[in-house]
Chain A
């Protein structure tokens, strides 16, 4: 009988899943996800019981747990929005995070083979990035590719990869106006590429299918104030992406995008989306130039320092746009404080793993 290879980074990676409905989608992912530890962040009504399929090793946090773990700092974690997922990033103890939405399923590549999205993300994260010079054959570290003629040798070592941004077949991640105009459009194009997003270039980071090195960039992966009680929604991952990219550029870390694909099954209601996004669509026009022009001082040598500096600039430069940004800037600081509280080595806080609620019957099958 063939010896199965141990799943890569089995003990170094957590899968963070925000959910308000159910976790049935995990059944399809079982062959790829079962070896890994899950952190489920249950949004919405904490009294609802979310059933986790048998055989998965997990911790589950509902809103009560979030409040208990963070105390007054819990106000930085969004409610009624998948932005709450970043609570999972906060409490994880692993080096790597993979986060996926509960309406994302296993996709197939053009040969019909099922795509192990997690394995591809791991490959992306473990190989260097090349953000300082664009390689026309895309990721030079992929099997079968390389650096092209003219690519400077001094830049071929690359830099560590902090973020791996995956894509989606079927329902594309469009904004509400585009959804309204093209309700039937489906993404059927499988683009067999991974690439580093060049330094100085911003991108729209989608949280549906995303992995990152928590040690390299974790504190920057705050998904903002969205949802209940907030004037905006569906900009959580965007916000985290812009902050994280600016910081990655400053700290010489790489961000990759492209493979893997997942199959996105659910199209959210475009009218509901429009209401959530509406302010964002206008604010974006000011937010983008802000991020494009942000300069982080040389003294910001850690992610936390960069993030704190960023929060100051957000309040100063975007505050005039809307008081929301003052709140957001404050929440960014709260997030960093919470991050330090929970992740500082000295802390052996009782607040940490107690959020875990394990089903008696859920034991890892090996």
Chain B
């Protein structure tokens, strides 16, 4: 689809509310968000009422809604940061953009306010080029192109299904890094968008993300829960886990993943040293999964995202189940997610989309 064909009504902005008062958050985002429909999912563990300012076309989902849609036993899947996945499930739009509720609009090097929605949509509606690295990065950007030596047969690219944005100020570091460098702030606005090459793995952060819902939605799931998962990003790993699955699946289906712009401005919350106690589990688990992801292969018969997720769940159980019980739970959750996606979500996908 061309960017010109994309209407505002093709987009849902999904916000997971982990704090009750979204007033300043939404007011700051008003210039960007007010045109779009918002899906706001309240963390089922949050007791207070949500405070949402006027003037937004939005729908709020709370614990009762979640329970009604997926059953009380499934609600655990959507606790904390994972609540936004419920928004992915119930959306009916072509594109989803999701931003954490502690992020505000950033400014570029010229001081202009960054519109992450527009940038994510540009990323998703221009081809990705995963099979060969272009040294001038995204060749579809204005003022750039494929360089000498780039094979011509690879220049049409593939559909970009996932767009991973970045963060100024508080970057998405893990707890040990943030604890070691408490003053470190990311002030480098790098004017770059690029396709992550095929077979390269990356940590997909859920803080600032956008995707083609039907193509990638089934592959973004809250499956890997830490035993002491908490309400701070340092205490989660679910986005990293599902992002790696999503990348393997995109590689398998010939879909592209981009990273880079847009930036959001992320503010401080919490004590990394406290989080360190909890996040060690996540850090340790990552060590176990890398060889798995580097070698996992999906069968040729898996041609839809849902099938791919089911195959991944099988592989996870077979190869990681004995490493740590958390992986068996993850495999179960992945299968449960596919079931939910088919029953609650609005339909299955084929690569190549609309």
Chain A residues near B (Cβ < 8 Å): 110, 132-138, 144-155, 165, 167, 172-175, 178, 182, 185-193, 197-206, 234-235, 237-238, 241, 257, 277, 281, 284-285, 288
Contacts and interface: CB of A to CB of B under 8 A. Distances in A.
Given A150-B174, A238-B149, 7 more contacts: A146-B184, A165-B135, A174-B145, A198-B197, A200-B197, A203-B135, A277-B148
Nearest to B259: A136
Nearest to B236: A149
Contact of A148 (B154, B172, B199, B201): B172
Interface residues of B, number: 58
A152 B290 contact: yes
A265 to B, nearest CB: 17
8 contacts: A138-B192, A146-B173, A149-B177, A149-B234, A175-B150, A185-B145, A189-B144, A189-B191
Contact of A201 (B133, B143, B144, B145): B133
B190 A191 contact: yes
B203 A148 contact: yes
Interface string B320-339: 00000000000000000000
Given A148-B173, A281-B152, A192 B146 contact: no
B121 interface: no
Given A146-B184, A148-B172, A238-B149, A187 B203 contact: no
A233 to B, nearest CB: 11
B35 interface: no
A58 B144 CA distance: 37
Contacts of A189: 141, 143-144, 191
B132 A145 contact: no
Given A137-B171, A149-B172, A150-B240, A288 B283 contact: no
A237 B201 CA distance: 28
B149 A284 contact: yes
A200 B143 contact: no
A149 B233 CA distance: 9
Given A134-B196, A174-B147, A187 B136 contact: yes
Interface of B: 109, 132-137, 141, 143-154, 164, 166, 171-174, 177, 181, 184, 186-192, 196-205, 233-234, 237, 239-240, 243, 259, 283, 286-287, 290, 294
Contacts of A148: 171-174, 203, 205
Given A144-B186, A174-B145, A238-B149, A136 B132 contact: no
Contacts of A193: 190, 192
Contact of A175 (B148, B166, B205, B233): B148
B241 to A, nearest CB: 9
Given A150-B286, A178-B145, A187-B144, A204 B186 contact: no
A144 B143 CA distance: 28
A175 B135 contact: no
- Considering residues A188, A190, A193, A281, which has the most beta carbons from chain B within 10 angstroms of its beta carbon? A193
B200 A288 contact: no
Nearest to B192: A191
Contacts of A237: 149
Contacts of A235: 149
B153 A187 contact: no
B133 A203 contact: yes
- Considering residues B173, B203, B290, which has the most beta carbons from chain A within 10 angstroms of its beta carbon? B203
A285 B234 contact: no
A136 B184 contact: no
A137 B186 contact: yes
Nearest to A235: B149
Contacts of A172: 136, 144-145, 147
Nearest to A255: B133
A198 B200 CA distance: 6
B203 A173 contact: no
Contacts of B286: 150-153
A110 B205 contact: no
A136 B244 CA distance: 13
Given A150-B240, A203-B132, A285-B152, A134 B201 contact: yes
B147 A285 contact: no
B153 A257 contact: no
Contacts of A190: 191
A279 B153 CA distance: 15
A134 B171 contact: no
B156 to A, nearest CB: 14
Contacts of B201: 133-134
A118 B130 CA distance: 30
A136 B259 CA distance: 7
A337 B300 CA distance: 45
Nearest to A280: B149
- Considering residues A149, A175, A187, A193, which has the most beta carbons from chain B within 10 angstroms of its beta carbon? A149
B148 A136 contact: no
Contacts of B137: 191
A190 B154 CA distance: 25
Contacts of A146: 171, 173, 177, 181, 184
A152 B269 CA distance: 23
Contacts of B240: 149-150
A134 B146 CA distance: 22
